[in-house]
Structure 1
Amino acid sequence: MDSRNFLTFSLCLLLIFVNKLKTSASSFGFDPTRVTQLSWTPRAFLYKGFLSNDECDHLINLAKGKLAKSMVTDNISGKRVDSEERTSSGMFLYKRQDDIVANVEAKLAAWTFLPEENGESLQILHYENGQKYDPHYDFFHDQKALQIGGHRIATVLMYLSNVKKGGETVFPMWKGKTTQLKDGSWSECAKQGYAVKPRKGDALLFFNLHPNATTDPTSLHGSCPVIEGEKWSATRWIHVRSFGRSFKKQSECVDEDESCEKWAKNGECEKNPTYMVGSETDHGYCRKSCKACSS
């Protein structure tokens, strides 16, 4: 094949690829014209109107009545522990829980160009007055966490409600060339770096790793305290590899997290049965503490 034919062949392949992307994007309601690049340090992008009002309300309704105190991952042990740094409440859905959840997950894959199977289950979070999450990293420090899917390469925060004041997502180590101007509508917390206001339906995508796969310290981020109103959000953490654990036989009475016993005492078996006990399509991680199988 000569160079002219090779160029023609390459252009044809490119056109086919672009058309497939357009078809895939349109089928999930993905509109790239709504995406704005916010920052390169860290790499952050805002998709205005990523979720419809109905999708936002549906995700909130799935979580109501099943919320528990949010936990954090200990940097040394990798265990889930309670912390005053994070005072929200939340719960995990399970993957493709219903048609709406499945569509949201597919849209996320189409937007981020990251495989759907690399994502964790959606976590729904609720912040009441004064509740917050201090600045932290989403990439891991402990080797145990890295064994399951590797680092979290990207994070998507989907805002499910408007907040009258506060509740912004802030990047304290942002390194932009110009200062982000903020008036009195911003909280003092938001003035400590580049910040994004929670708007119902909007989605914020940022990368925790550099393109060379090293961790990005400028991805440090936090959720500012809610000052007026309440904040609902959905988080999707996306790993560098397919995310999942080795499945135990459902007949085995085992706990796969050190906090299972504590969570069970707090009523999580009833509040979040899909994660704790499992279902026909999802694996339960705390079957022993929930007394869901014979010992």
Structure 2
Amino acid sequence: MIRFVGLIFLIVLVQDCDSMDSVNFATDYYSSSVLGLLKLLEIERQFMEEFVGHADVLQEKLDNLQMYIDSLDRTKHESHKERERFVSNPLNAYGLIRRLQQDWPKWQNYTKKPLGTAQLQGMEELLLKAPDNHDMTESLKSMDRIERTYDLPASQIARGLLQHQQYDTQLSVRDCLALAQHKNVSGDYIRASMWYREALRHESEPNAEIINAVLGNPLEGVEHQFASAIIIRELGLSGKSLSRTRMQGVASHFLTNSKPQVVDAFIRHYLAESDEGIAKELGTLQTPPTSREFGCRGLYAKRTNLVCRYNSTTTPFLRLAPLKMEEISHDPYIVMYHQVLSDREIGEMKQLAQPMTNGLSGSIEANNSEPLEVVARIAWLLEASPFRERLNLRIGDMTGFDVSEFKALQVANFGVGSYFKAHFDYLTNRIVDTSISQLGDRTGSLIIYAGEVQQGGATIFPDIQVMVPPQKGNSLFWYNTFDDSTPDPRSLHAVCPVIAGSRWTVTKWLHQWPQMFLKPCSPRPRAVERKS
């Protein structure tokens, strides 16, 4: 009997893992969560320590060389007569011969002596942990996701202005160029031109000559790339059906064969043009927002006839300790419970969730353009603990459901720009062999927000136009099925890209069969049946 129950548990766990759709747990990508970015910050801190240590050793070497040169205390001999007088002195002549024969060879050997090798080895080992191409690509995609979803101009992002929130960080010229190149390769030429323009307009960085001597001149050839992106955009608006390769060829021919002054005038015109002027000439960046983007921007209409109250009736325990409940939607039923998780419990949760694995799902191949389903780092709390037992009891009080058959909790941490595409939580359409669904479909979903998210990261229901910002300590609950257990397509939901903050969540799915005698089994409403 125990073995059978264990098998059921594993089957259901696999089904709930499948909610992340083709999750890949193999590779430790930094870009998938704030936790990963914290690791990168520590790696950079250690690298900077090694770098400074190496520079200190080299500085000491330079100081020693300067000290010896200063010890010679020799005046500069401007003329041949002065030099002749100097070497005519027997003491000077002797000292000159001895230094060149004995001292200078040793100083030369000293300059060749490898110093700071320990620091160099440390930096080399740290760079083995540096982000790979996938992380770089995902970071660029995250920035693009934020830019598109929230309709943010490149000029504002570059200066640290995100949705009317001014940050004290600004993008460097190389940051702008990386974004421009990414959009250029993906075929988004108008946004590419905007980022090229930001790079070309960027103020010269302090000590730019020294930095460019090491890193290379970032603006070399960028003016032509900027002009090429504009030309290709104009060709795309011409109404002619030209392939991408053909348009690139036309742009290259113009830039190569036109007089330099003509090309220069073309570039200067668009550099000096305002954003509004470019929008008129090249077409606006703005496209009609999707329902998802509309919700992420906070543009859904506010619902009325909703109240906040203390819930003291779901379970007998709530008569002693009622929960603050906010109605989000009457039909379908969505509610928010306030202050269900304390800061102490959040710290306890994070300790239990270590280590976390990547929950990247969907396509992660460079040559596949299919978007990821979800970008986050996840952990399952499978082992019994006071925290897990306490939270399951609290979930039972909030929902009135029996959670004893499946006590596992899923913890997730989303990175900057991370998201979860629109999806359903119910499993009906995913299960081929219904015999494996031992606990039934996911009749309800509950998310507890456990992180500070300053901007973005909202949970949205695009079909019913409901947006719920993530508020630390609060819990969102909704039904995925009708009372007759058939799927409710109105439960389609998504997670908006995180702009700023660390989105931690605890997710619990409430399954059908344990609630057989707890949840009403009313006929499906005819009005809803007609709509779907």
Q: Give the aligned partner of residue 143 of structure 1.
A: 432
Deviation at 1:65, TM superposition (A): 2.6
Q: Give the aligned partner of residue 322 of structure 2.
A: 31
Indicate whether 1:102 and 2:389 are aligned: yes
- SS of the aligned residue for 1:209 comes to coil
Q: Give the aligned partner of residue 271 of structure 1.
A: none
Q: Give the aligned partner of residue 202 of structure 1.
A: 474
In the comparison of the two structures, how many residue pairs are matched? 194
Indicate whether 1:64 and 2:354 are aligned: yes
Q: Greater strand share, 1 or 2?
A: 1
Indicate whether 1:222 and 2:494 are aligned: yes
- SS of the aligned residue for 1:129 comes to coil
Query: Using the alignment, how far apart are the partners of 1:98 and 1:26 within structure 2?
Result: 26
Assess, with a 3 A threshold, how the Cα gap between structure 1 residues 134 and 120 changes in structure 2: closer, same or farther: farther
Query: Using the alignment, how far apart are the partners of 2:389 and 2:419 within structure 1?
Result: 28
What TM-score do the two structures reach when normalised by structure 2? 0.34
Q: Is the CA contact (8 Å cut-off) linking 2:341 and 2:473 kept in structure 1?
A: yes
Q: Which amino acid aligns with 2:382?
A: Y
What per-residue deviation string (whole Å, max 9, x for no partner) do you get for residues 95-137 of structure 1? 6x21121010011112211102244511000101011100100
Query: Using the alignment, how far apart are the partners of 1:121 and 1:139 within structure 2?
Result: 17
Decide which of 38, 41, 44 is 2:334's aligned counterpart. Answer: 44
Query: Using the alignment, how far apart are the partners of 2:371 and 2:391 within structure 1?
Result: 30
The structure that has the greater radius of gyration is 2
User: Identity over aligned residues, as a percent?
Assistant: 24
Q: Is the CA contact (8 Å cut-off) linking 2:314 and 2:399 kept in structure 1?
A: no
The runs of at least 4 aligned residues of structure 1 exceeding 3 Å deviation read 18-22, 143-146
Assess, with a 3 A threshold, how the Cα gap between structure 1 residues 162 and 20 changes in structure 2: closer, same or farther: closer
Of structures 1 and 2, the one scoring higher in RCO (CA 8 A, sep 6+) is 1
Indicate whether 1:113 and 2:400 are aligned: yes
Q: Give the aligned partner of residue 444 of structure 2.
A: 154
**Stretches of structure 2 lacking an aligned partner (at least 5 in a row):** 1-311, 363-369, 516-532
Q: Which amino acid aligns with 2:389?
A: A
What TM-score do the two structures reach when normalised by structure 1? 0.60
Query: Using the alignment, how far apart are the partners of 2:357 and 2:474 within structure 1?
Result: 22
Deviation at 1:31, TM superposition (A): 2.0
Deviates more, 1:97-106 or 1:35-44: 35-44
Indicate whether 1:237 and 2:530 are aligned: no
Query: Using the alignment, how far apart are the partners of 2:480 and 2:407 within structure 1?
Result: 15
Assess, with a 3 A threshold, how the Cα gap between structure 1 residues 62 and 151 changes in structure 2: closer, same or farther: same
Q: Is the CA contact (8 Å cut-off) linking 1:119 and 1:236 kept in structure 2?
A: no
Query: Using the alignment, how far apart are the partners of 2:325 and 2:331 within structure 1?
Result: 17
Q: Give the aligned partner of residue 265 of structure 1.
A: none
Query: Using the alignment, how far apart are the partners of 1:103 and 1:40 within structure 2?
Result: 28
Deviation at 1:94, TM superposition (A): 1.3
What per-residue deviation string (whole Å, max 9, x for no partner) do you get for residues 143-197 of structure 1? 34662311100000000012010110000011xxxxxxxxxxxxxxxxxx31111
Q: Which amino acid aligns with 2:408?
A: S
Query: Using the alignment, how far apart are the partners of 1:206 and 1:134 within structure 2?
Result: 18
Query: Using the alignment, how far apart are the partners of 1:225 and 1:19 within structure 2?
Result: 36
Q: Is the CA contact (8 Å cut-off) linking 1:44 and 1:206 kept in structure 2?
A: yes
Q: Which amino acid aligns with 1:143?
A: V
Q: Is the CA contact (8 Å cut-off) linking 2:361 and 2:372 kept in structure 1?
A: no
Q: Greater helix share, 1 or 2?
A: 2
Query: Using the alignment, how far apart are the partners of 2:313 and 2:443 within structure 1?
Result: 27
Q: Is the CA contact (8 Å cut-off) linking 2:409 and 2:508 kept in structure 1?
A: yes
Deviation at 1:51, TM superposition (A): 1.1
Q: Give the aligned partner of residue 88 of structure 2.
A: none
Q: Is the CA contact (8 Å cut-off) linking 1:70 and 1:90 kept in structure 2?
A: no
Q: Is the CA contact (8 Å cut-off) linking 1:119 and 1:242 kept in structure 2?
A: no
Query: Using the alignment, how far apart are the partners of 1:135 and 1:43 within structure 2?
Result: 19
Q: Which amino acid aligns with 2:486?
A: T
Q: Which amino acid aligns with 1:139?
A: Y
Q: Which amino acid aligns with 2:395?
A: L
Deviation at 1:42, TM superposition (A): 2.4
Indicate whether 1:85 and 2:382 are aligned: no
Query: Using the alignment, how far apart are the partners of 2:313 and 2:483 within structure 1?
Result: 26
Q: Is the CA contact (8 Å cut-off) linking 2:338 and 2:475 kept in structure 1?
A: yes
Assess, with a 3 A threshold, how the Cα gap between structure 1 residues 19 and 159 changes in structure 2: closer, same or farther: closer
* Aligned-residue RMSD, C-alpha: 2.5
Q: Is the CA contact (8 Å cut-off) linking 2:314 and 2:397 kept in structure 1?
A: no
Q: Which amino acid aligns with 1:209?
A: T
- SS of the aligned residue for 1:227 comes to strand
What per-residue deviation string (whole Å, max 9, x for no partner) do you get for residues 191-220 of structure 1? xx3111111110000000112222111100
What per-residue deviation string (whole Å, max 9, x for no partner) do you get for residues 252-282 of structure 1? xxxxxxxxxxxxxxxxxxxxxxxxxxxxxxx
Q: Is the CA contact (8 Å cut-off) linking 2:424 and 2:491 kept in structure 1?
A: yes
- Report matched runs for 1:182-197 at 5 Å: 193-197=465-469
Q: Is the CA contact (8 Å cut-off) linking 1:171 and 1:219 kept in structure 2?
A: yes
Query: Using the alignment, how far apart are the partners of 1:139 and 1:120 within structure 2?
Result: 18
Decide which of 412, 416, 419 is 1:125's aligned counterpart. Answer: 412
Query: Using the alignment, how far apart are the partners of 1:205 and 1:20 within structure 2?
Result: 14
